[in-house]
């Protein structure tokens, strides 16, 4: 194993055989949120004082911060665009966990090699080009660096440091006792089998000290033997466990080390892939190197050689745990291993999203919505799925009835709603809403700003009479006052009757919009008591002045009040009026016209109109 090169004053001196301890911190290369959070959860249950992740390097982003949890509290981890900047700000970091793709893993690893402080690089990607990998291995030996991977999940120093997703979820970490150190040093080619081995070791011994998955590609950055030699040199490791696999000859270097006395601690080892002899043809397993091209590369041949050299080789993988337990008990009996009391580990709080999904917590809602729901497979408008809304062709009137009144009103009612939207869409450019929209548009304002400018003028003198008329006439009718009494009362109070009066229209020049609305209501509504009452009031007001007619705002408001009373109780109808539902109808309709005015002014300003009458209209308005 190469010797460590350290930068004076930035890192504590460690023995050569130690890659990770409780002070080790790493850079995560590429934004890997889940892997980072799992490392921090491991740190918390292990009782580390500082997180093992110092920073994240995200070459496609910008310098920023990313939120994570450290136990119950939220912490911020810095994110840097460049590895060089991260290293400058965190000189104590000596590990980089490289989540770059197989295309860029080599280049980013070489970039890390240029930093003296980085000793260990873990390459997660599978399929790194073999030529590139051989170059990286040579460079690492030249510089005294350590590579774990590629095609690896990494590894773990129990109770001290975990690489990425090694060990799986925090529940599996705790079940495998990886939150505290044991006496077993483990190394494997397979990442998946290493996780299984941690579980076996936890049930067969006092637990793992360190475990490394070197990766399954043909040219791993470090070998099984190199890590076993580290364990041999480490006095805290009392026994060693390894998993080889069919293909290649790496396991024979372990045989030579056993025969040459370089490995003296008890070693339990099994080479997987003994099932290949059951196949008639060559079998390529999942790893790039897991294919026997010669008899010596078969699992059976390697297991036999290891056993002959003095390793403890089980009869099958099923016997793996039994063999590990037998060797461990022998070491305990000899006093070489003294099992320590099991420490109490803190519990990692469950993530909120996971807790909600698992239905283990409940939380009061921040606000309530009873008109729509998009949390299921299909959007709901009230009780109707959006597909039914479209299929049944309920129109915008039906959608309004569902979202405003929480039920689908009869066709005559939804048709009336649509009729009101058509009639209120525009009153021309002279009214205040259109005027303000035009002025704002000419001032260079965007669509939303221009429309809002016009909408803010809605009130008792512009549109607001829809609500006002409905309320005023409903109260007069419900109080039992005659139309004459109502008119006289308003005159005595000096209050204008909302919904009565027009600047241009009169008895002799009626407003066609009122005629259309009132005619529809009389023909299709079940009853129109408020509209009838309003026309009686109109007879009295026009007898004094012929322009004191029922205007369009008043007619819409009064007819809508009649509609609501036909379909709801009187109390419900009055409540909708008080909430401003009728004025909302005017707001919705008028927004259509105001958008038109905005677009019209944009076209004029850009010179898109060429008709002479457009030019005349523009000049007159200007």
Write out the catalytic residue numbers. Answer: 287
**466 touches 586 (CB < 8 A):** yes
* 436 backbone φψ class: left, alpha, beta (φ>0; ψ -120 to 50): alpha
Contact (CB, 8 A) for 563 and 416: yes
**Which residues are registered as beta bridge partners of 96?**
27, 121
Which residues neighbour 561 within 8 Å (Cβ) at sequence distance 6 or greater? 470, 473, 474, 530, 573, 577, 582
Burial class (CB in 10 A: 0-12, 13-18, 19+), 479: exposed
CB-neighbour burial class of residue 69 (10 A; exposed 0-12, middle 13-18, buried 19+): middle
Tell the burial category of 402 from Cβ atoms under 10 Å away from its Cβ (0-12, 13-18, 19+).
buried
Q: Please report, in angstroms and rounded to a whole number, the separation of the first and last CA atoms in the chain.
A: 85
Residue 265 contacts residue 242 (beta carbons within 8 Å)? no
569-to-110, 118, 476, 561, 563 alpha-carbon distances in Å: 77, 76, 18, 11, 11
Cα(242)–Cα(224) distance, integer angstroms: 8
Beta strand residue intervals within 71-214, DSSP E: 73-80, 95-98, 120-123, 146-148, 155-157, 161-162, 184-188, 208-213
Listing DSSP states for 424-462 in one string gives HS---TTSHHHHHHHHHHHTT--HHHHHHHHHTT-BTTB
333 CB contacts (<8 Å, ≥6 apart)?
Answer: none
Percent composition of the chain: helix, strand, coil (DSSP 3-state, to 5): 45, 10, 40
Alpha helices by DSSP H, listed for 151-286, are 170-175, 191-204, 224-233, 250-259
Copy the structure tokens of residue 551. 């205007």
Tracing tokens 């504590």 back to the chain, one arrives at: 12
Q: Rounded distance, CA 554 to CA 552, Å?
A: 5
Strand order through the sheet with 239-245: 161-162, 155-157, 208-213, 184-188, 239-245, 267-272
Q: Are strands 73-80 and 64-70 parallel, antiparallel or unpaired?
A: antiparallel
CB atoms within 10 A of CB 78: 17
């Amino acid at each position: 194993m190469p010797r460590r090169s350290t930068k004076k004053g930035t890192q504590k001196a460690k023995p050569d055989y130690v890659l990770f301890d409780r002070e080790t911190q790493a850079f995560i290369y590429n934004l890997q949120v889940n892997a980072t959070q799992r490392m921090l959860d491991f740190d918390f249950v292990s009782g580390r004082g500082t997180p093992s992740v110092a920073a994240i390097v995200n070459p496609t982003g910008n310098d920023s911060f990313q939120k994570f949890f450290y136990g119950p509290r939220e912490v911020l981890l810095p994110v840097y665009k460049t590895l060089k900047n991260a290293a400058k700000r965190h000189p104590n970091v000596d590990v980089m966990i490289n989540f770059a793709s197989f295309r860029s893993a080599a280049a980013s690893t070489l970039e890390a090699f240029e930093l003296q402080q980085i000793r260990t690089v873990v390459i997660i990607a599978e399929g790194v080009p073999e030529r590139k990998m051989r170059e990286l291995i040579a460079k690492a030996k030249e510089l005294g660096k350590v590579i774990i991977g590629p095609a690896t999940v990494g590894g773990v120093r129990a109770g001290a440091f975990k690489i990425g997703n090694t060990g799986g979820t925090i529940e599996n970490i705790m079940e495998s006792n990886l939150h505290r150190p044991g006496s077993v040093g483990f190394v494997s080619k397979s990442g998946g089998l290493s996780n299984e081995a941690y579980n076996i070791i936890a049930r067969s011994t006092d637990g793992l000290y360190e475990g490394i998955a070197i990766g399954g590609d043909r040219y791993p950055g470090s070998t099984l033997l190199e890590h076993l030699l580290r364990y041999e040199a480490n006095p805290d490791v009392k026994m060693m466990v390894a998993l080889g696999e069919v293909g290649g000859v790496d396991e024979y270097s372990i045989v030579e080390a056993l025969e040459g006395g370089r490995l003296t601690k008890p070693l339990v080892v099994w080479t997987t892939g003994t099932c290949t002899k059951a196949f008639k043809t060559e079998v390529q397993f999942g790893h790039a190197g897991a294919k026997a091209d010669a008899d010596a590369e078969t699992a059976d041949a390697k297991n036999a050689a290891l056993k002959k050299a003095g390793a403890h080789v089980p009869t099958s993988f099923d016997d793996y745990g039994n063999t590990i337990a037998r060797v461990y008990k022998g070491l305990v009996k000899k006093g070489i291993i003294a099992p320590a009391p099991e420490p109490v580990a803190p519990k990692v709080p469950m993530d909120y999203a996971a807790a909600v999904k698992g239905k283990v917590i409940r939380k009061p809602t921040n606000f309530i919505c009873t008109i729509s729901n998009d949390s299921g497979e299909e959007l709901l408008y009230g009780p109707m799925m959006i597909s039914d809304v479209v299929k049944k062709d309920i129109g915008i009137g039906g959608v309004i009835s569902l979202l405003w009144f929480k039920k689908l009103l009869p066709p005559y009612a939804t048709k009336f709603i649509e009729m009101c939207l058509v009639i209120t869409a525009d009153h021309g450019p002279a009214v205040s809403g259109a005027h303000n929209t035009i002025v704002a548009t000419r001032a260079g304002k965007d669509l939303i700003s221009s429309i809002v400018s016009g909408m803010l003028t809605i009130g008792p003198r512009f549109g607001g009479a829809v609500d006002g008329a409905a309320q005023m006439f409903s109260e007069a009718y419900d109080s039992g006052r005659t139309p004459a009494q109502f008119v006289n009362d308003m005159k005595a109070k000096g209050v204008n009757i909302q919904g009565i009066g027009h600047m241009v229209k009169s008895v002799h020049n009626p407003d066609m919009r009122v005629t259309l609305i009132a005619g529809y209501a009389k023909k299709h509504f079940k009853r129109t008591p408020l509209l009838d009452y309003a026309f009686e009031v109109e007879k009295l007001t026009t007898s004094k002045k012929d322009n004191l007619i029922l205007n369009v705002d008043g007619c819409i408001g009064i007819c809508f009040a009649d509609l609501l009373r036909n379909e709801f109780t009187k109390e419900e109808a009055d409540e909708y009026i008080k909430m401003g539902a009728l004025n909302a109808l005017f707001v919705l309709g008028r927004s259509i016209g105001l958008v038109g005015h905005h677009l019209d002014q944009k076209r004029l300003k850009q010179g898109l109109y060429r008709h002479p009458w457009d030019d005349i209209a523009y000049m007159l308005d200007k």
